[in-house]
Structure 1
Amino acid sequence: MKLKKLITAFTGVLLVATLLAACGSKKEADSSQKAKTDTIEVVGADGSKVKVPKNPSKVVVFDNGSLDTIQALGEGKSVVGVAKKNLPDYLKEFKNVDSIGGLKEPDLEKINALKPQLIVISARQQGFKADLEKIAPVLDLSMDNKKVWESTQSHILTLASIYGKEAEAKKQIETLKTNIDAVKKKAEGSGLKTLTLMTNEGQVAAFSEGSRYAIINDTFGFKSVDETIKASTHGQSVSYEYVLEKNPDVIFFIDRTKAVGGDSKEASLKDNELVKQTTASKNGKVVELNASIWYLSGGGLQSTQLMLDEVAQALK
């Protein structure tokens, strides 16, 4: 009888142990599955595949276009560090987060201390990518100037997928596309010949298709007065005599010193005597574009709309 009770007790203990082991295995499996679903693999502009946490709560962002997209998707609270020195006014909400150095000189020590789950960069920080990767996953969202609109949409959707906001992003992209199409139709039908310039401490550079400000021509539909301008990040150096010779109907210009500082003693391009002789000046169509947006931002849900609004002034 005692032997029977002993066997029964042992069997009970064995059953409990088996159930606990099964529960433990299930928890491990569930935990493993959760780990898989808590990360997502995305592709950067440089073609690199990056595994990042879904819905990250600590993100460091150097690229202002990405920063404005994150804000537009309602995920600004996840950003813990930005390059504050040259932050555009429309992103002033982020002036309260930690500074992570300059756009070209990241503060690696500060970034490491923030323990980010994701670092978003663009072309200006590519030289530091290897160092940043030692801290956290790095997502390069540099713009492709030869495919501006395609690049913009791709970057927006990449960020949206990280936050699980694909539906919201697609909705905002569709609205943006509708607005772009409306301006593009007017621009193409206007017959206006335009010239895009950037001034920097007295120097002047021209831009056209495939260059830094290609969105004006490639996406917004404005015809360039000079199709031979060489595509370049810093533009093709030109003179004021060149501007008068080309005599555009519209001049769009960006004053770089207003974005990054420098010698601001030079008179505005609008006040140059040769520029005043152009058709653009005579018709009041020398349009100064917001330097902090055009030079320091771009490729975002908000910045793209802001850019569109500014160039649309030439059609009034």
Structure 2
Amino acid sequence: MTDWAAFDNLHALGVPVAGVPASATPSYLAPLVPEGTPRVGSLQEPDIEGIAAAEPDLVIVANRSRPAYETLRQLAPTLDMTVDNADIVGGVKASLAQYGAIFGRQARAAALTAALDAKVKEAREAAAGRGSGLVVVTNGGRLGVYGPGSRVAWIYDALAVPSVFAGVDDGDHGGDAISAEYLSEKNPDWLFVVDRDAGIGQEGSARATLDNELIHGTTFWRKNQIVYLDPAAAYVTMHGVTGLMRLLDQVIEGYRGGA
């Protein structure tokens, strides 16, 4: 198991795992990892030797660990569960269905999928008619923006939140770099914030980065329409059903608590 979203989905299905990543453990998943579970390298660099020594029945790679696929498949049966960010909700449901079929958890997978569909519907209804949105990422005191097709595309696509721009180059870890002036000019009704620093286990910077005079004049700041997304779920495990449900709950709560 070289991916936290894979662990998330398998745990939700009741499937035990024989190893988990050694880095960027989401706080909401940490208590679910059985004590003594082997750690098999970082998200980007699985411990090939350690995995080989464990002689697993199945190895799972995904978005960050997939470069190791060709090496790992020579050691054991290996499954690539990479999810396309352009359809995260669909990808999570497909992952649940595939795991359910492999491990005989079809009924549980169907129940989780139904719950996810209901939560997406609830969030979409909460967002309807509430104005435009923008997803930003903070990273070491810098601001970036995420758009359709990114790791947070579900906010625009699945929830039909209108974006304030037509396109953005957000392939980097910190999104497409922007400034406070950009936020002031675009002035979205809602701001969704991903704190990358906190997401990878460092000290968070989001609230301090956004606290300046230019941003204080925006609609989202004046109306307190800022949703701080769970950093680990938004940056690391958005392809896991528990992580995505957690994010959807935060969006729903944000809209219900906004002006």
Regarding TM over 0.5, the answer is: yes
Partner of 1:115: 55
- Deviations, residues 27-48 of structure 1 (Å, cap 9, x unaligned): xxxxxxxxxxxxxxxxxxxxxx
In 2, Cα distance between the equivalents of 1:64 and 1:137?
A: 19
Q: Residues 224-243 of structure 1: matches in 2 within 5 Å? A: 224-230=163-169, 232=171, 234=173, 235-243=175-183
> Alpha carbons of 1:165 and 1:263: their partners in 2 closer, same or farther (altered >3 Å)?
closer
Residue matched to 2:25: 87
Q: Note closer, same or farther for the CA distance 1:269–1:313 as it changes in structure 2 (3 Å cut).
A: farther
Asked if 1:193 is matched to 2:132, the reply is yes
For residues 169-226 of structure 1, the C-alpha deviation after alignment (integer angstroms, 9 at most, x for no partner) is 1122112101211221231232x21110001112211112111210111112222122
Secondary structure, counterpart of 1:224 in structure 2: coil
The alignment yields a C-alpha RMSD, in angstroms, of 1.9
Code of the residue aligned with 2:67 in structure 1: it is G
Please tell me whether residue 220 in structure 1 is matched to residue 174 in structure 2: no
Higher helix share: 1
For residues 47-62 of structure 1, what are the structure 2 equivalents within 5 Å?
61-62=1-2
CA drift of 1:280 comes to 0.5
Residue 262 of structure 1 and its aligned partner are, at CA, apart by: 5.2
Tell me if the contact between 1:269 and 1:275 (Cα under 8 Å) persists in the aligned partners. Answer: no
**Runs of 4+ residues over 4 Å off in structure 1:** 261-267
Q: Which has the higher strand share?
A: 1
Instruction: Give 1:133's aligned residue.
Output: 73
Letter in 2 for 1:103: L
CA distance in 1, matches of 2:158, 2:18: 33
Return the match for 2:97 from 127, 133, 157: 157
Q: Show structure 2 runs of 5+ residues with no match.
A: none
The residue aligned with 1:246 is 186
Task: Structure 1: give runs of 5+ residues left out of the alignment.
Answer: 1-60
Which residue number in structure 1 is paired with residue 197 of structure 2? Answer: 257
Other-structure match for 1:269: 209
TM-score where L is the length of structure 2? 0.91
Which SS does the other structure have where 2:134 is aligned? strand
- Aligned AA (1:302): T
Match of 2:5 in 1: 65
Q: 1:313 to 1:236 in 2, by over 3 A?
A: same
Q: How many Å separate the matches in 2 of 1:271 and 1:291?
A: 18
Give TM-score scaled by structure 1 length: 0.75
Q: How many percent identity over aligned positions?
A: 30
SS at match of 2:251: helix
Secondary structure of 1:195 counterpart = strand
Matched, 1:208 2:142: no
The count of aligned residue pairs is 253
**SS of 2:79's equivalent?**
strand
Q: Does 1:184 align with 2:113?
A: no
SS at match of 1:205: strand
Q: Which amino acid aligns with 2:19?
A: G
AA matched with 2:48 = L
Corresponding residue of 1:168: 108
Output the CA distance in 1 between the equivalents of 2:60 and 2:45: 15
Q: How far does residue 148 in structure 1 lie from its aligned partner after superposition?
A: 2.1
Amino acid at match of 2:167: T
> What letter corresponds to residue 87 of structure 1 in structure 2?
T
